[in-house]
A and B are shown apart, each in its own frame.
Chain A
Amino acid sequence: MPAYYLEILILLLGFTMLGVEAFSSNRSRSRIAVLGVSGLFVVLIFLIFTVPSSEVPYDHWGIYHVDKWALFYKAIAILTTLLVLVLAKDFSPVLKKYTSQSNEFSGIGEYYCLPIFVCAGLMWMASAKDLITIFVSLELVTIGFYVLVSFMRRNVGSLEAGVKYLVLGALSTGFLVYGIAWIFGVTGQFELNEIANVLNSGKVERKPIIFAFALLLVGLGFKVAAVPFHIWVPDVYQGTSMPITAFLSVGSKAAGFIVLLRVIEPFLNSSLTASSVILILSFLVCVTLLFGNFVAIKQTNVKRLLAYSSIAHAGFLMMALPAMESDFQSKLIGPSSMESISFYLAGYLLMTMLCFLVLTIVSAATNGESIDDLKGLGARSPLLAFAMLVGIASLAGIPLTVGFFGKFFLFNIAIQYAVFSGSWYVVSFAVLGAAAGFYYYFKIIRVMYWGGSDQDSDELTLEVNPLSKAVIIVLLTGVILCGVFPSLILGLLQ
């Protein structure tokens, strides 16, 4: 089965769900979510059996590229969407409050369908190897998100987030298109391999190509939440509904990174542009690490804190980007940049989704999103508190969780690259950032277990529905198992 059937299946699933939504009389829409979850699960199984080992990598019409990376990131996209639907199901009580006046679930059917279309976009991004496909798939994702972010239309914060995301998203799209136009103008190519050939042919000038690259980087930096293109992140994460925050933070970032990796490669491996690209990237890494980690310290809203943490994680991930130059990769000991980033993103999926699942359940019950709303969670629901503890520990990079292996591989690259290139500032910023991380992540751990013996704790015992409970346990096991046996994920990549 050719891989593009997967996207078609996903789209069919989306349309089916829309149809069911339109014609069903059932007022509770949670069946649509269940349909979506099971549909995505089936597609995920198809994906596993789509590994055309003899044919990988191959191209369709020059615009649809399939290799092991594409398949891996497609799997991440499907898994993320699946989990987002689980979250959305838990979040529906809050959602209905802000969508329709009557006390019904009727207004939220699209909330379960749109992520499916976004998922198709994310999967297409994983296969995009020329700038036009990149642009089109990116827009499919972004437009889906415009709607999803502002879905709680009776909530001012959500609308504000929607407007901010729309305006800044459109702006970054503008930069991206302009950059693509410049690239085409200079090289006459859209296809990344062809661009690489032109760059190495010595027939292009340096300045316009650097300019074009910088424009591209603005557009993609917006997607992965790199400083200084991060302005939207805190407000949008805070304003929108919890499941979409999770979707943005995992799905959008992962797809952004695979595109970023593909776009950067030709520029890094051409002697014409390499030095400037490395310089630009190193600068972005440093400011992202510093800004994300240090601003997170002062946050009191959990979603805002996770927004800055998401920026910080973008910084850690980007540490491996300058090191992508092939001179260094051949000397590198341990997993390559591509492998490390992919591993980290897969781990990031597990740990972030775990945290968001807990947060969704808590905020649906307490209707609050500040760190203090987690107070005494250890007494109210030991399972949720433990899940959150493991998720947060993994985000902070405590050993024996998947987050530690992720950071370890990235630091491994960064340190070896520092020895190779002789500049240590990226590593030192990363150490500072990770140290600050201990503080703000432990703040959450502290709140959960401090002062757990509130008198009213019995009343607030949290109910967790069986599906979420099962998902939490699966994710929890995943975070710990992959934290001891990283080859569970790395094996898929090598």
Chain B
Amino acid sequence: MIIDLIVLIPIIAALAIGLGAEGRKTALGAAGANLILGVIVIGELMRRGGEELIFETSTVILENPKLTLGFAVDGMSGVLVLLTVIVTFCAVYISPEKAPDGRVKLYHISPLLISAGALGAFCSTDLFFLFAFHELALIPTFLMIGIYGHGRERLAIAWKITIYLGVGSLVLLGGLIALYSNLTSDGFATFKIAELTAIAETMQLDQEVQKWIFLPLFLGFGILVSLFPFHSWAAPAYASAPTSVAMLHAGVLKKFGLYGILRVAMPMLPKGFEAWEGLILVLLLGNIIYVGLVTISQRHLDRMLGNSSVMHMGYAFLGIACVNHIGWNGAVLMMFAHGLSIALLFALCGSLRERLNTLELSEIGGLTSKVPFLAVSFGFAAFASIGLPGFANFASEVTILFGAFNGAGEVGNLQKAAILALWGVVISAVYMLRAYRNIFQGDSTRGLTLVRRDSLNKIPIILMIAVLLLTGFFPNLILSMLPS
């Protein structure tokens, strides 16, 4: 019941705003209620260990293939639900009362729908609705970037993200249909994830079949996570999206692809992964090294952050490629940590944008004395993003590396990839520290006049930093919920 509520509350709130309820207050109320519910769910998961699904509900809506509309959480989805409710709360909190053009409804409905889509996808116990809920975010994202985006190219960017994600989900849908129709017993098919996993374990599809089902699944999910070379939609979209959408999309929604791979592709098609392991390692290094270098060469803060978020997805893929629970848990922790840190960075970037006329790094300088709180919190966020010890990002990267070397007698492809991926940390340090120096230190006369708008919303920023530090010092809070 409680999970149904978590998914339904944003939808109901969106409906209420559509029918005339006050925009920001309703949205904030819904997000706050969800935050409380999310924490309750996490508490229960910690108590039970997170191995099995809890709070399960289900309604059968079709007999064959069996479709059920139902929600439940286990450790992995619980972590992502927590991430979603925190980021949603912060994104809604940061949104101003009215959109730049004075409209209220659409501006507050869209983040709620994106959040509902993510929550529905993470909590669905049914493959079909896992897919369906993710698409709920497509139209709100399109409208928000197109209408309230920044920069002259926002229209082209809105098209780009929509078509990329649309094509990605079509490829994914093809893979899902191929998957379920192969995992049948006695002409009876199901979409229930738990049942499919059980069938896959007993049935053991041929390597060749697994190989060709895994490919569309991996590509489909991969496009949604901005896997190299399908990443070019992500950075411009995040750079031009309104702050709340950038936070939700980069922080939460993008994790759907990784979640899907961990939940569906890896457990059901282990041999499929083996067949493509080499290719996947190359692609994830493309994310880390190639996109990392691209990030270094960015001149605008928003573009740099967008690219950095693409780059860090490479680590999550590396964790997945470990094919052991240490690596996978590292990937989940990575999703959580990265989601928070990138949302935090976009929130700060948004408030910088409100105060400055430009985000071009070479134009800004010496802001520390003018906005000390922003400077300090940006420092925290940058350190988290680089992966300094004390932040959850560090814990996740270390866990992923442990996963990569776990039980490896010799240095195989995976270990070589992991060694190369380590250089990504250096790359992150280069661009993040350079951005920090450019913006907050140095000659303040270079700085443009500060356009003061409304005062900074400190609560969400402190909340996100606190959670990052807490899970950084005690990563076991998260890891204890995941299977070991």
Contacts and interface: CB of A to CB of B under 8 A. Distances in A.
Partners in one complex: yes
Contacts of A398: 135, 138-139
Given A415-B174, A439-B159, A378 B136 contact: no
B103 A452 contact: yes
A484 B8 CA distance: 14
Contacts of A386: 18
Interface string B81-124: 00000000000000000000111011000000000000000000
Nearest to B158: A446
Contacts of B18: 382, 386
B106 A399 contact: no
A155 interface: no
Interface in A445-488: 445-446, 449-450, 452-453, 484-487
B131 A399 contact: yes
Interface in A413-449: 415-416, 419, 427, 431, 434-435, 438-439, 442, 445-446, 449
A453 B142 CA distance: 18
Nearest to A434: B170
A319 B179 CA distance: 20
Given A382-B105, A442-B162, A449-B147, A389 B139 contact: yes
A400 B217 CA distance: 21
Given A449-B147, A453-B103, A408 B173 contact: yes
Interface string A374-388: 000011001000100
Interface stretch (B61-69, B238-246, B268-276): B61-69
Contacts of A435: 163, 166-167, 170
A439 to B, nearest CB: 6
A450 to B, nearest CB: 6
A318 B187 CA distance: 25
A431 B106 contact: no
Given A398-B138, A415-B177, A449-B147, A334 B61 contact: no
Nearest to B102: A453
Contacts of B101: 452-453
A439 B163 contact: yes
Interface in B131-181: 131-136, 138-139, 142-143, 146-147, 158-159, 162-163, 166-167, 170-171, 173-174, 177-178, 180-181
Given A333-B189, A439-B163, A442-B142, A486 B181 contact: no
B74 to A, nearest CB: 23
B368 interface: no
A91 interface: no
Interface in B169-225: 170-171, 173-174, 177-178, 180-181, 184, 187, 189
B136 A411 contact: no
B163 A415 contact: no
Nearest to B63: A487
The interface residues of chain B, by DSSP majority, are classed as helix
A222 interface: no
Contacts of B105: 382
B133 A399 contact: yes
A431 B174 contact: yes
Interface string A305-347: 0000000000000000000000000010110000000000000
B106 A449 contact: yes
Contacts of B147: 449-450
A334 B166 CA distance: 24
A427 B174 contact: yes
Nearest to B59: A485
Contacts of A427: 174
A379 B177 CA distance: 40
Contact of A438 (B163, B171, B181): B163
A490 B62 contact: yes
B65 A445 contact: no
Interface of B: 18, 61-65, 67, 69, 101-103, 105-106, 128, 131-136, 138-139, 142-143, 146-147, 158-159, 162-163, 166-167, 170-171, 173-174, 177-178, 180-181, 184, 187, 189
Given A334-B181, A438-B166, 18 more contacts: A333-B184, A378-B106, A382-B18, A389-B139, A398-B139, A399-B132, A399-B134, A400-B132, A415-B174, A416-B177, A431-B170, A434-B170, A435-B167, A439-B163, A442-B142, A484-B61, A487-B61, A487-B63
20 contacts: A333-B65, A333-B180, A333-B187, A399-B136, A400-B133, A404-B132, A408-B128, A408-B173, A412-B177, A416-B181, A434-B170, A435-B163, A438-B163, A438-B166, A439-B159, A446-B143, A450-B147, A486-B67, A487-B63, A490-B62
